[in-house]
Amino acid sequence: MEENGLLSKPMNGQETIIKLRAGDENAFSDIYKRHWRQVYNFTRLYINSSAEVMEVVQEVFVKLWETRERLDETKNLEGLLFIMTRNLIFNRSRKSFSEEAFKIQALASMENSYNIDAEIEASDLKEHIDKIVSLMPPRRRQIFRMSREEHLSRKEIALQLGITEKAVDRSLALALDFIREHLPLFLIFIGL
C-alpha cells in the first residue's frame, strides 16, 4: 500500500475496526478484501443462485458500513460477519419457503445478539464443516479445498489436476450437496 509516496504497513484487526468506526473508507476496503470470500462461501452453503449469493455478500458489507459506529474493536470481526450473514440468509428465506428452509431456520434459532457464544458457535460450525469435508472422497475433498481454502478458480483447479472444468464443477456440486446433507444434523445436535 502506498500512502503519500511512502509504503504503509497493513492495518491490524483492531486498528482497522477503529478506523472503520471513524468512517475510513480504506479500512472498509481492507475488511472487504480480507473477508468477502468467507461470507461468499458460507452463503453458498444455503443459497444456490450465484446472483442471490452476491446480493447477500453486498448486503452484509453495506450493513457493516451502516453500523460501523457501533463496532467494538475488542470483538471478533469474523464472528460478527458470520452472524450478519446468517441473519440475512434467514430473512431472505422468510420471503420464499424452499427445501432449504429447514436448514436456514436452524441457523435463525441461534441467538441474534453479538457475543462470545456466537463466536464459539461460528468456530464450532467451521470446525464441523471441516470434519464433513474430511469425510468426502479424497479427490472431491482436494477439489473443494482448492476452491474454498486456496481460492483457485475452476479453470486453475482443472489445469493443476489435469481434468476438465466440467469435472471440477461436478465435484464442487457434489461436495456442496454433501455438506448440505450433513450440516442440519450438526445444527440439531448442538441445539440450534
Domain boundary among 107, 130, 152: 107
Residue bearing cell 446433507: 181
The predicted pLDDT at position 180 comes to: 77
Do 6 and 89 sit in the same domain of this protein?
Answer: yes
The residue segments making up the domain with residue 10 are 1-107
The predicted pLDDT at position 6 comes to: 40
Domain boundary among 107, 124, 144: 107
- CA dist list (Å): 100 to 28, 71, 73, 90, 131: 32, 31, 34, 10, 21
> CA torsion angle for 179, 184, 189, 190 (degrees, to 10)?
90
- CA dist list (Å): 92 to 35, 52, 96, 160: 21, 10, 7, 37
The predicted pLDDT at position 112 comes to: 45
192 residues of the chain, pLDDT tens digit each: 444 434 444 456 688 888 888 988 998 998 899 889 888 888 888 887 888 889 999 999 999 898 888 888 788 888 888 888 888 887 776 555 444 555 555 555 544 444 444 554 555 667 777 888 888 999 999 998 898 878 888 899 999 999 999 999 999 889 888 877 777 654 544 444
The predicted pLDDT at position 189 comes to: 44
| Domain count across the chain | 2
The predicted pLDDT at position 77 comes to: 82
Cα–Cα distance measured from residue 133 to residue 148, given in angstroms and rounded to the nearest whole number: 11
Do 101 and 141 sit in the same domain of this protein?
Answer: no
- Residues 184 and 178: beta-carbon distance below 8 Å: no
pLDDT in tens, 129-139: 788 888 899 99
Do 17 and 50 sit in the same domain of this protein?
Answer: yes
Do 65 and 123 sit in the same domain of this protein?
Answer: no
At 99 the three-state DSSP class reads coil
- Residues 158 and 100: beta-carbon distance below 8 Å: no
DSSP H or E segment with residue 192: none
Identify the CA nearest to 69 among candidates 114, 116, 119, 24.
24
Residue 26 sits in a domain whose CATH number is 1.10.1740.10
The predicted pLDDT at position 7 comes to: 40
- Residues 26 and 55: beta-carbon distance below 8 Å: no
- Residues 106 and 187: beta-carbon distance below 8 Å: yes
Do 35 and 100 sit in the same domain of this protein?
Answer: yes
The predicted pLDDT at position 58 comes to: 92
**pTM strictly above 0.75:** no
Cα–Cα distance measured from residue 117 to residue 110, given in angstroms and rounded to the nearest whole number: 10
